[in-house]
Chain A
Amino acid sequence: MEITCAEALVRCLEIEGVELIFGYPGGAILPVYDALNNSKIKHILTRHEQGAAFGASGYARTTGKVGVCMATSGPGATNLVTGLANAYMDSIPLVAITGQVSTAQVGTDAFQEVDITGITMPITKHNYLVKDARMLPGIIKKAFHIARTGRPGPVLIDLPRDVADTKIPFKYPESVELMGYKPTVKGHSAQINQAARQMMEAQRPLIYIGGGVVNAEASEELLWLAETIDAPVVATLMGLGSFPGDHPLFLGMLGLHGNRAANLAVTECDLLVTLGARFDDRVTGRISGFAPQARVIHVDIDPAEISKNVISHLPIVGDTKMVLEALLVRLEKKQNLAWRETIARWKEEFAPKYRERDGYLKPQYIIEEIYRHTDGNCILTTDVGQHQMWAAQHFTFKKPRKFVTSGGLGVMGFGLPGAIGAQFGQPEETVVLVTGDGSFQMTLNELSTAAEQGLPLKIFVLNNRRLGMVRQLQEFYCEKRYIAVDFSFVPNFADLAKVYGFTGLTVTSQEELQDALKTAFQKPGPVLVDCAIDPEENVMPMVLAGKDINDAVDCE
């Protein structure tokens, strides 16, 4: 029996196990939406296509499954672009489906036509323009395969309207054959042997982990490795949670706003075991001052990351989990007493701290209290800016996939739609969004989506009535010549939230915050707490541009 290509598309998604699509309809994608009428796949109508891409990403980040978003041609498609770039930078598996004008119109500057495959070429792992309806099932199969395997990433499929309407005999391929795509998952055994030897010999080993550990689901193996070779662990923003944050061997986040103990450990270690991390410039600071005494072992699924920024002495290309499994049988339990003593001393000396200021609510205190009230049992979503760094520094992440944040792209406005996606991914979990007044105003239209879907989000706006991070940059790099960072108007977020059916609260002191936290976490349903924080507060420590990571400015 023949069905339309649009119906085939929906059928393919069902076979791939897609439960949810975050999307926004329009003219060119009409046939696909029509086909969705007869499907059990749930469609989440966001209020902007960017919210759909971020929502799918939040879903993927908390579940490990492929997130799916959908939009129409032209503006629908371009509105997905930031979300795709975000997923690409953070290696999040996504499949985006866009409508396209009919093939006869392609290239004529037709109404709502853009060359979305051209536009997204550098920000997708791969993309397809479906020119022949019969190719569609194969393309969907390939798209999901590419999105979820190797180094995960977004794949876009552009479907012209006439192709969507074309009838085809439906058959979903069983396997994928891609001549040019065969990720290496098994690490080279000689390299692994050598890595094991170096780990046994090292006196000051350090494990540096990134989002690749989360993607590989390798937390258990990582814990085992750290305890076996008695090595402390430092994490990137994306790696937080893949090693228990309350473990004595954990030193926190490294990098430009990293914990000083973590950064010192990088400087002093003699072996840096890098797992699923990519030596981003926000992590390394001045490259020549990064791990200057260390031999570098780099385990990564993506060969292009090896020696891209920091020369790796011992590269192992492969799936982090499989490499760790192979490593563990080659290791014996050892102790590095002197190193661990040093580490413990640093850890105590450089524990995350902040200065109290009379009459002001400190953002770090809010983060710590959210942790205390939830016992860390929640999914913490953030936007981008100071609040994001405070959350990364002061929250204790104990498990992977519990911290949802935009890392590589650092996109403001990710928070709320990301939290919506996270809540759909983990309906039983408490989803907390920590955001700032700047970021929140970028996508607060999605409050409508959250309300419509009845999501019990707990939103904390760390409100300093300004773009705090940019202001901080202007303070340090522009000699306090502040421009375009202060809001002279900020809406009353509590009142605004009430319009959307949230419980809206405003707090200005620790006492009020405690009451609000009780309301937020004891009462079912959505709550927004607008927290008036110290507007002068900076993110500390801070490694200034061009400095080594052990050379940080700190509060005192």
Chain B
Amino acid sequence: MYHTLAVLVENSPGVLARVAGLFSRRGYNIDSLAVGRTDNPTISRMTIVVEGDERVLEQVSKQLHKLVDVIKIGDITAAPHVDRELVLIKVNANANTRGEVMQIAQVFRAAIVDYGHKNLTLECTGNQEKISAFEEALQPFGIKELVRTGKVAMLRGAKYTNITKTKEED
């Protein structure tokens, strides 16, 4: 099963290497990892999607806690949350196919961010299912390049993951 972890870390050099290294050396599988700083410039937030059963997840979480730079971990999989991913896709589009591609973009509420003679670059945001469907829809035209950010996620409602309750799991 896939779990989504919201991890707050100190924005220190090497923190990404510490986290990524921990996953690889302990044999845990990262599906995706997205990282960026928060409203507090000394703190970064990672959204890590990891595959494993409950026992693996418990170990992942505990081992992450042991990293001095890791401030807080929340497994938000089970709680109501919003998750989004952004994708940029450069797809073949000539005079004949351009209209159809643009139509697909419209259906998926994707934006056209670059326009070339032979291709279009599209930006689409959504949950992973939508992104995958979008990719599939464009496949027949020939995807030249594709980049996904990995999932970012946040709890819904009044609940939140921040540093005030340090080192506790939600």
Contacts and interface: CB of A to CB of B under 8 A. Distances in A.
A544 interface: no
**Which label, helix, strand, loop or mixed, suits the secondary structure of the A interface?**
loop
Given A121-B18, A121-B21, A129-B14, A180 B63 contact: no
Interface in B7-21: 9-10, 13-14, 17-18, 21
Given A121-B21, A307-B58, A180 B67 contact: yes
Contacts of B68: 125-126, 146, 178, 180-181
A518 interface: no
Nearest to B12: A128
B69 interface: yes
B148 interface: no
Contact of B71 (A121, A146, A179, A302): A179
Contacts of A357: none
Nearest to B55: A307
Contact of A179 (B14, B25, B59, B163): B163
B117 interface: no
A303 B70 CA distance: 15
A481 interface: no
Interface string A398-437: 0000000000000000000000000000000000000000
B166 A179 contact: yes
A285 B67 CA distance: 29
A131 interface: yes
B62 A303 contact: yes
Contacts of B67: 126, 180
Interface in A155-200: 178-182
Given A179-B166, A180-B166, A307-B55, 19 more contacts: A117-B14, A121-B21, A122-B21, A122-B22, A122-B25, A126-B67, A126-B69, A131-B13, A178-B68, A179-B163, A180-B67, A182-B166, A302-B66, A303-B62, A303-B65, A304-B59, A304-B65, A304-B66, A308-B59
| A-B residue pairs, 9 tightest by C-beta | A304-B62, A180-B71, A126-B68, A179-B71, A181-B68, A180-B70, A303-B62, A122-B25, A304-B63
Interface of B: 9-10, 13-14, 17-18, 21-22, 25, 55, 58-59, 62-63, 65-72, 163, 166-167
8 contacts: A122-B22, A122-B25, A126-B69, A131-B13, A146-B68, A178-B68, A180-B69, A182-B166
